Amino acid sequence: MTNVEAIDPTRCTAWDSLLEITEKSSTTTIRDLFTSNPNRPAEFTLEAAGIYADFSRQRISQQARDLLYSLAEQTRVLSLRDAMLEGEPINTTEDRAVLHTALRAPADQSIVVDGVGITDEVHQVLTRMGALSDAVRSGKWIGSTGKRITDVVNIGIGGSDLGPAMAYRALKDYRERSITCHFLSNVDPSDAGEILFDLNPETTLFIVASKTFTTLETMTNAEYARHWLVSALGDHAVARHFVAVSTNAPEVAKFGIDVENMFGFWDWVGGRYSMESAIGLSTMVAIGKDNFRELLQGFRSMDEHFKAAPPAENLPLLMGLLAIWNRNFLEIPTTAVLPYSQYLSRFPAYLQQLTMESNGKRVRRDGTEVTYDTGAIVWGEPGTNGQHSFYQMLHQGTGDVACDVIVVAQSAHGHENQQDMLVANALAQASVLAFGRTTEEISADGTRPELVAHKVMPGNRPTTVLMVQKLDPFTLGALVALYEHSVFVQGAVWGINSFDQWGVELGKKVALGILTDLQTNTSQDSQLDPALVADIDKYLSLKGSN
Ligand code: F6P
């Protein structure tokens, strides 16, 4: 059997055993698990690359956890991992290798794709990125009127936006404060309109970030920005105010950007796995090349752990397997990511693309339809803000939600008492999500009898606590790599291709057809369904009445 052949996990003996256990333990609560084994924190905690992961509040016994390891073995997760790391084309529908790990490999590591060593190329691009970022940060790179750059606008969408936008916020404390980065992604003209309103063309540098350089939203926004710039400074200014990040040199040149100012990457980097490639140019300009190197080092440290750690100590492996347990055996459809760090405010959005575009699939790698659930819905907001919004439902709603609570121990701004307050909230929530409050406990507090039922908290929400000392570039890299590899493990067990995204293509094509109808003021296209005809007519009449 080849590494990429898809195994139906439901045909594995471990799957059946897991189903049996699920049935037998269907009334076992997280409280029960702790009562029968108070040593769970020691037994369900792993640490790697500076990330401490406490899985003790997951609703799972040791026996079930051991069976998950058997499931990983029977679905050949680690063979697929090795195939990925060695550059086999495991993205079968696009016939591509999946080598985001090569983006953070040391220069002397040999990784070969189609007979070509790729780490050299990766490091050449990093060196060029470093030179540009040094020049912008030092003021050596000047705009067409001789002024230094104060604002950098990354124009991109999906993986060409979410990673850089997340990382910029996460590492704000490390940024060069004289330069502000902006992230222009939405084709909604108000996104470009609002961002550019406050900027000065003379001091603005645009990074057009698009793997394909054909994405409608990005190219439309890039044209908008060029028009804005040229209207103020003339055509000749484009060379000093636009650089590109892409795999598509001919399109970059066609747009008018000097390919000298293009930073390349490769088709073996998926969009949602690209934040540490040249797509991270805005991140590097913001935090500098040395901090960017630290970010790569954090990624690499988690990669090395994922590659080498034995299964029982392998953090991404266990995290991925617990996600399988929650999704397929406890049948929990959604995971809330709850970072107790304002710096991680875009982390849930970043993880949405990473997990949902990767594992929102319904056929296995061989095209056969799955008969089990795949990727969970991922969402979230930073604590403590979320507590005053949707946590009510997490605690007392009828649906079950798995939760990842992310805790950062050291504040970047001192005020330790305030940091203690933040962390106390994180830990309190993790505890209450898992253990809840029983009728007896609420009554014992002296609560009026008629209110007791309203105050009971069922608890029993599977909750992971991830804790790091400090949110520095290294730790951010390790954290992202942890989730990347956990997503990989889930996809590998499900037998799906986590690296393509065919589901987003049809919508793009249909939108182009509708655009023609909107621009020719007609809904008479015979291909349109009646609902579309009605909505187009309504839109055209409302638009006309502006
Ligand atoms: O529409 C989905 C997608 O292809 C993502 O996978 C990708 O991150 C995004 O679009 C942007 O693509 P590009 O970098 O080619 O503009």
Please indicate, yes or no, if residue 275 is contained in any of the structural domains.
yes
Structural domain range at position 367:
9-98+292-494
Q: What is the pLDDT of residues 326-368, one digit of tens each?
A: 999 999 999 999 999 999 999 999 999 999 999 999 999 999 9
pLDDT one-digit tens code per residue, 219-243: 999 999 999 999 999 999 999 999 9
Q: Domain total for the chain?
A: 3
Task: Let me know if residue 109 belongs to a domain.
Answer: no
| 82 in the same domain as 20 | yes
pLDDT reported for residue 525:
62
The tens digit of pLDDT for each residue in 502-534 reads: 999 999 888 988 998 888 877 666 678 899 999
Q: Which residues does 456 contact at the CB level (< 8 Å), separation at least 6?
A: 436, 437, 438, 439, 442
The reply to whether 354 and 454 lie within a common domain is yes
Tell me the per-residue pLDDT of 94-107, one tens digit each, with 9 for 90 and over. Answer: 999 999 999 999 99
> What's the rounded Cα separation, in Å, for the pair 357 and 294?
27
Nearest alpha-carbon partner for 350 in 103, 84, 160, 101: 160
Q: Which residues of 354-368 are buried (b: 16+ CB within 10 A; e: fewer)?
A: bbbbbbbbebbbeee
Residue 281 sits in the same domain as residue 420:
no
Residue 385 identity: N
Torsion, Cα 268 274 277 278, to 10 degrees, reads 110
362 and 395, same domain (yes or no): yes
What percentage of the chain exceeds 90 in pLDDT? 92
State in Å: Cα 220 to ligand 1 middle.
Answer: 14
Q: Are residues 304 and 384 in the same domain?
A: yes
Q: Which protein residue has the closest C-alpha to ligand 1 atom 6?
A: 271
Residue 104 belongs to a domain: no
Q: How many CA atoms lie within 13 A of 480 on its CB side?
A: 33
| Mean pLDDT of all residues belonging to the chain | 96
Work out the widest C-alpha separation in the chain, in whole angstroms. Answer: 77
Q: Is the pLDDT of residue 3 over 80?
A: no
Total residue length of the chain? 546
Binding site membership of 211 for ligand 1 (Cβ less than 6 Å): yes
pLDDT on residue 243: 97
Chosen domain end from 242, 266, 285: 285
Instruction: Say what the pLDDT of residue 546 is.
Output: 41
CA pair distance 485, 315, nearest whole angstrom: 9
Burial class (CB within 10 angstroms; exposed 0-12, middle 13-18, buried 19+) of 328: buried
Confidence of residue 545 (pLDDT cuts 50, 70, 90): low
Distance from Cα 162 to the centre of ligand 1, integer Å: 10
> Do 82 and 38 reside in the same domain of the chain?
yes
Name the pLDDT band for 1 (thresholds 50, 70, 90): confident
Q: Would residue 366 count as lying in a domain?
A: yes
Q: Model confidence at 400, in pLDDT bands (50, 70, 90)?
A: very high
Which tens digit of pLDDT belongs to each residue from 164-178? 999 999 999 999 999
CB burial of 270-307 (b: ≥16 within 10 Å; e: otherwise) equals bbbbbbbbbbbbbbbbbbbbebbbbbbbbbbbbbbbbe
The answer, yes or no, to whether any atom of ligand 1 lies below 6 A from the CB of 158, is yes
Q: For strand 151-155 and strand 262-264, is the pairing parallel, antiparallel, or unpaired?
A: unpaired
User: Same structural domain for residues 92 and 127?
Assistant: no
CA 67 to chain centre: 28
Cβ proximity of 57 and 428 under 8 Å? no
Is residue 107 situated within a structural domain? Answer: no
CATH code at 246? 3.40.50.10490
Asked if the structure places residue 49 within a domain, the reply is: yes
One-letter amino acid for residue 63 of the chain: Q
Q: Determine if ligand 1 sits within 6 Å of the CB of residue 157.
A: yes
Between the CA of 538 and the centroid of ligand 1 the distance, in Å, is: 31
- Looking at the fold, whether 71 and 182 belong to one and the same domain comes out as no
Give the pLDDT confidence score for residue 524 in this predicted structure. 62
Q: What pTM was estimated for this model as a whole?
A: 0.97
Check: CB of residue 35 under 8 Å from CB of residue 453: no
